[in-house]
Structures are given as structure tokens and as C-alpha cells.
Amino acid sequence: MPELPDLEIIKSFFNQRLVGTSIEKVEVIQPLVIRRPPVKDFIAGLQGHSFQEARRRGKYLILQFDGDAVLVMHLMLVGRLQYCPPSEKRNPATCFVFHFSNGFQLRYFDSKVMGRLYLVREDEVRTVPGISELGPEAWDEELTVELFRHRLAKYRGEIKTIITNQEFLAGIGNAYADEILFVAGIYPYRKRTGLSSDDVQRLYHAIRQVLSEATEILSKRVGDNIHVEIRDFLRVHGRGGLPCPNCGSNISQIIINQRTTEFCRHCQK
């Protein structure tokens, strides 16, 4: 699933490449991903309108068009956006295509058809399911370590479950939670009530470090290929059974309810 660093790169890409470009045609192939409004109104609400700005809230991309049209997108597990010329072969799971006036296309493909798109007015953005419940952004400068401690104290479950809870912090998913907990040296299944004050401080700083480092790496590597998920630089996630980069012992992998957790039993006791 695209997480905060991935979506930050896509947001920046759109703001660099699409501002002032209009949608000449909206082609809907799989209408199931369009949750609001009906498809014909979705097409009419975007066709002929120009892109103004992209922003992000948690795992939501928010695209502003002229005429007070706002497209809110949640890509879910496998949804991807592709920016390419028309000559590029289409992914068979393509759900819709925006034909832009600059000759390029923005395509959305999703093999599980789980993505959710909402075309709303600016004053309706908070009515999109899930947005109003989001906690502060995971790397928000106003989220001090003291405020982080205060918010964390309200939860009692396993720490990985807490930091992927979007009502606690917005933007962290499964992959970057593994990385954050590895950098912090915290076992992912530890209960919050078992964390020391030093553990909480390390966790706070690990969140900022991991998300900032990942965003910087992706900004140098993604280029135009915003549909490609780059995770090969991660320390533990996706590396189950391989040597830990710190101690050399094998990275453990546990799958519960189709969610994979990877960690080092030596470094994260």
C-alpha cells in the first residue's frame, strides 16, 4: 500500500508536471472505484477542468481542479497511478484514464479494485469517509515529543497496531511501521504499556528519521515512474529470512490476518 513517503513523491510530481494542464477526456473502464458521484457526473465534473494543486492527508491524495472540483483518492492496497504517453501499453487492471491537454495520460490501475475515489467540492472534503477521523500527520512539526507521549498514552495494544492506526497518526502503513520499529529497536508485538520513557522517545525520533530518509531516497529514484513501488532500500520489510543489516541474524517474518510483519529478534527484543 502506498504510504506517506510514496504519496509525498506523487504529490510533488503532480505539482511539478500538471499545474495548468486540463483534462480533455475522462475514460472510465471500471466504475466500481468511483464512490461519489455517479459516473456520468464524475466525468462531467472533471472533463474540461484544469489541474491546480495536489496535496496529501494521511494516505489520501487530494487533487484540486478549477471550478471548485476536488478529487480525493485512496489507493488502498494495490492501486497505482501511472503518468505516461498514450503509446504506453495499458495495464490490464486499468480502471480509468485521464487524457490531459499536454498529450499525456494519467491512468489508475488496481487489480483488486479496492481503491476509492470521491469527486467533491472543497467544503465537502471532510465528508469523505475516514478523513475527519485522521490523527496528526506522522511527521508534523507541531507534533512534539510531549504531545506524542500524551497521544500514545491513550492506547494499550501492540505498538505496531497503534502506529498504523490512522486515528493515532496519519500516513504510516505496514511497511514503514516495520522500518520504524527496527530503527527504534522495539519488538512490534510489545504492548504500549510495556514501553519505557526511553522507548517512546526513540520511537518518536525513528518515525521522523525513517519517513524523511525514505522520502529523500524516493525523490531521487522514482522520476516519472510514479506507478512503481520502490521498497528495496528498506532495512527489514520485505527481507524475511535475509540477514539483519545490524547484527547479521536472520530477519523474522510473521503473517497474521494477511499482514506481514518483519523484524529482527536480536535487535528488537
Identify whether the C-beta of residue 232 lies closer than 8 Å to the C-beta of residue 244.
no
Give the whole-angstrom CA distance, residue 57 versus residue 170: 7
The residue assigned the cell 514503514 is 176
Q: Are strands 105-109 and 80-84 parallel, antiparallel or unpaired?
A: antiparallel
Which grid coordinates belong to 266?
536480536
For the chain, the C-alpha Rg in angstroms (whole number) is 20
The H or E element spanning position 107 is: strand 105-109
Q: What is the amino acid identity at position 17? A: R
For residue 60, what are the β-bridge partners? Answer: 57, 74
The residue assigned the cell 499482514 is 259
CA-wise closest residue to 229 among 88, 77, 18: 77
- Active-site residue set: 2-3, 59, 259
